[in-house]
Amino acid sequence: MDILFATSNPHKFEEAAAFLGQRGIRAARLPFEHRELRSDNLEEIAREAVDSAYSVCGKPVFVEDTGLFITALNGFPGTYSAWAQKKIGNKGILKLLSGAGDRSAFFETCIAYHDGKSVSFFSGRCAGTIAEAARGTSGFGYDPIFVPEGHPQTFAENILLKNNISHRYKSLLEFSKSLEP
């Protein structure tokens, strides 16, 4: 089957298209520049975005909203992850965490799928810690500073691992199961 993924982020599209392609679902990208809703809730943001994407394309379409939630920063950058990546980047996050005893964090993704009648949600979470310094060159965004639980490398040092355990992988797995006939 064919499906549309509305996103402004080519990296997110690449990861999702590779995963879905392995399961016989061909994803096409709807380049979607959209002013995101301000909210602390990923599902609320994804809901508003998918309604807007559907009103543009009029076809079954999904969006996903992802955040990095850092315990020592009370969940920041969370739903403001795109903004924080642009404004302060990984360097800024590492600076905010200098001297922090607790470096735990998690990524969470919420997919919202509009099938033309109703909207369904699929979430995935990946726990880990924030590294002391950025490491690795693969991936994008916060990948060089995120070390998934139980592994020594950052996502940017081991992209194959990322693609098999990540927040995005988990949410896409649930989503793809729901599309099975």
Contact 168, 66 (CB under 8 A): yes
**Paired tokens of 149:** 């639980």
Residue 12 or 47: the one with the smaller Cβ distance to ligand ITT is: 12
Distance between CA atoms of residues 76 and 95, nearest Å? 13
- Cβ-closest position to ligand ITT: 141
Residue 14 or 24: the one with the smaller Cβ distance to ligand ITT is: 14
CB of 34 to ligand ITT, least distance (A): 6
Residue 16 C-beta-side C-alpha neighbours within 13 Å:
30
CB of 98 to ligand ITT, least distance (A): 21
**Paired tokens of 47:** 């809901």
The radius of gyration of the chain's CA atoms, rounded to the nearest angstrom, is 16
DSSP 38: P
Residue 92 or 180: the one with the smaller Cβ distance to ligand ITT is: 92
Distance between CA atoms of residues 94 and 84, nearest Å? 12
- Say whether 65 is catalytic: yes
Distance between CA atoms of residues 46 and 90, nearest Å? 24
Of 65, 102, 115, 143, the active-site residue reads 65
CB of 85 to ligand ITT, least distance (A): 4
Residue 25 or 159: the one with the smaller Cβ distance to ligand ITT is: 159
CB of 181 to ligand ITT, least distance (A): 27
Distance between CA atoms of residues 34 and 51, nearest Å? 11
Residue with tokens 């993704």: 109
- Contacts with ligand ITT by CB under 6 A lie at 7-9, 12, 32, 65-66, 81-82, 85, 139-143, 166, 168
Enzyme catalytic residues: 65
